[in-house]
Amino acid sequence: MSDAILEIKDLHVQYNTDDAVVHALNGLNLTLEKGGVLGLVGETGAGKTTMALSILKLLPEKVGQVTKGTITYNSLDILKARKHQMMKLRGAKISMIFQDPMTSLNPIITVGDQILEVLDLHFPDMDKNEKDQKVDEILGLVGIQAKRKDEFPHQFSGGMKQRIGIAMALVAEPELLLADEPTTALDVTIQAQILKLMKELKDKFDTSMILITHDLGVVAEFCENVAIVYSGEIIEKGTIEDVFTRDHNHPYTEGLFNSIPNLTCDTERLVPIPGFMADPTNLPAGCKFAERCKYCMEECKTHVPPSYAIGTHSIKCFLFSDMEGDK
């Protein structure tokens, strides 16, 4: 892909805890085009946050380890990058919005100063007034009155704290934004506001974005592309049309769709996906979805399926092995 801003190839990440080794990412492949908005969907424990932290090299120091694979940002090999290179990227070129706004802000520093810190770090030559102005501007864009910048995080509501987090992430106009479930901790009405805000900012700054969420509805409305994560692998990805309008998706994806109540027709019972995600400390050989899959074949239990692609769409499942033949 010529215009890819981010390319992740065969990424394996594990957490070395005292009790066991947790295999969080198991061969994750992902590409993001410049200016694209990718929704990363998966349930808790699938590896979504791990992926985001890996991109920024913010995995917990002694515990998190990348064992295989590459992450390339604009032709820079992230995994081989030196500390000072990463420091230059973080906040300025790649920034992150974290999941829990209640704990992501430093309680004893004013919100204005926390946003200002990004500018102090990356634009040391900018003069003070210009920085102050930028802070005021970004606060205005996220819908917070500039005069509140001398207040402390505890004086704001959850939704506003998240907006401050967004302001911090965007003030330096980054090229890539990783939004880790930015609305999960907020209620639905605020969620709509935040998403609308992010859309506007994305358009304004032309930021490439990865939106991590477990909510398919948000993805459908907001993203151009979607990738579905399961047990540390991308099991299906494509454009929204590719994935949402198909008759048959990866069995897991189908299960996700079936779990959502359908407003247009009568349903007596929702169909959940039976079982639990594979134990990351003890992964099965073969396809990780095999034991929950109603279409499971013998082959699935012993071999990891490759990703079969057609055009912009790909599925990691033996059921679709003939897909590539279709044109």
**DSSP at 125:** T
Contacts of other proteins in 81-120 (CB under 8 A): 86-92, 95-96, 98, 100, 103-109, 117-118
Residue 228 CB, nearest approach to other proteins (Å)? 25
User: Rule CB under 8 A: is residue 122 a binding residue for other proteins?
Assistant: yes
Q: Other C-beta atoms within 10 Å of 263: how many? A: 6
Q: Are 53 and 90 in contact (CB under 8 A)?
A: no
Q: Which is nearer to other proteins, 55 or 229 (CB)?
A: 55
Q: Of the candidates 82, 92, 167, 165, which has an alpha carbon nearest to the alpha carbon of residue 126?
A: 92
Q: Which is nearer to other proteins, 56 or 197 (CB)?
A: 56
Structure tokens at 266: 């009568």
User: Rule CB under 8 A: is residue 186 a binding residue for other proteins?
Assistant: no
User: Rule CB under 8 A: is residue 164 a binding residue for other proteins?
Assistant: no
Distance CA 156, CA 139 (A): 13
Residue 116 CB, nearest approach to other proteins (Å)? 11
Separation in Å, CA 262 to CA 153, 158, 177, 269: 39, 30, 32, 11
Contacts of other proteins in 37-76 (CB under 8 A): 56, 58, 62
Sheet holding 64-73, edge to edge: 21-33, 4-16, 64-73, 76-77
Distance CA 69, CA 79 (A): 9
Residue 90 CB, nearest approach to other proteins (Å)? 4
Residue 60 CB, nearest approach to other proteins (Å)? 9
Contacts of other proteins in 134-163 (CB under 8 A): 152, 154-155
Residue 210 CB, nearest approach to other proteins (Å)? 14
- What are residue 61's phi and psi, to 5 degrees? -50, -65
Q: Which positions touch other proteins (CB under 8 A)?
A: 17-18, 56, 58, 62, 86-92, 95-96, 98, 100, 103-109, 117-118, 121-122, 152, 154-155, 165, 168
